[in-house]
């Protein structure tokens, strides 16, 4: 019985290593798999940033619309005086965060209504820590496709990125 154990042991000791060919083939297969997976991972990351951009644009545009509704309501209720040079939209995006007093005519109390907790960032136009997020702004009197605002108010926002989206459109056109 000891002879059979020695033969079995000899067989196991002789085949315990990995040949260089097996190692090279394994590395080639892993390289091919990594090469196939990397583009899909990059597209998934870009798609995630696009979803964030769409969401942030929707959040800001909804806040702008709510500001306009509150302004129009204040005018209807005679809490705010009608002005010919005002559109009812905020002067800056910061007003949405800081708040605005719509019922200030003839009262001594101020109750600012806030529309955003913070200005959402543009994921394709990152800013340094401590800076406010930067967006392209259109005024109420600007052309719909204008890239330069007269800065009278904030009617719409757009991304300042010149990059092209996965669907072939420009982020600045969203």
**17 burial level (CB within 10 Å; 0-12, 13-18, 19+):** exposed
Q: Is the pLDDT reported for residue 13 higher than 60? A: no
Give residue 101's pLDDT band: very low, low, confident or very high (50, 70, 90).
confident
Gap between the Cα atoms of 8 and 44, Å rounded: 52
Q: Is the pLDDT reported for residue 28 higher than 90? A: yes
Gap between the Cα atoms of 82 and 153, Å rounded: 16
Q: Is the pLDDT reported for residue 174 higher than 90? A: no
How confident is the model over 109-125, as pLDDT tens digits? 567 889 999 999 999 98
Q: Is the pLDDT reported for residue 5 higher than 60? A: no
Gap between the Cα atoms of 157 and 166, Å rounded: 21
Give residue 31's pLDDT band: very low, low, confident or very high (50, 70, 90).
very high
HEC string of 33-93 equals: HHHHHHHHHHHHHHHHHHHHHHHHHHHHHHHHHHHHHHHHHHHHCCCCCCCCCCCCCCCCC
- Residue with the bigger pLDDT between 102 and 93: it is 93
């Amino acid at each position: 019985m000891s002879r059979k154990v020695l033969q079995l042991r000899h067989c196991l000791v002789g085949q315990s290593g990995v040949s260089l060919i097996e190692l090279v083939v394994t590395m080639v297969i892993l390289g091919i798999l990594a090469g196939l997976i990397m583009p899909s991972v990059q597209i998934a990351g870009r798609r995630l940033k696009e979803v964030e951009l769409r969401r942030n644009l929707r959040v800001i545009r909804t806040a702008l619309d709510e500001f306009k509704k509150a302004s129009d309501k204040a005018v209807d209720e005679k809490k705010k005086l009608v002005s010919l040079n005002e559109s009812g939209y905020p002067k800056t995006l910061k007003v949405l965060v800081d708040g605005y007093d719509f019922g200030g005519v003839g009262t001594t109390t101020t109750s600012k209504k806030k529309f955003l907790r913070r200005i959402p960032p543009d994921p394709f136009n990152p800013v340094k820590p401590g800076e406010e997020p930067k967006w392209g702004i259109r005024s109420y009197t600007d052309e719909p496709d204008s890239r330069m605002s007269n800065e009278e108010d904030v009617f719409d926002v757009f991304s300042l990125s010149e990059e092209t989206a996965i669907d072939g459109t420009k982020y600045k056109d969203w």
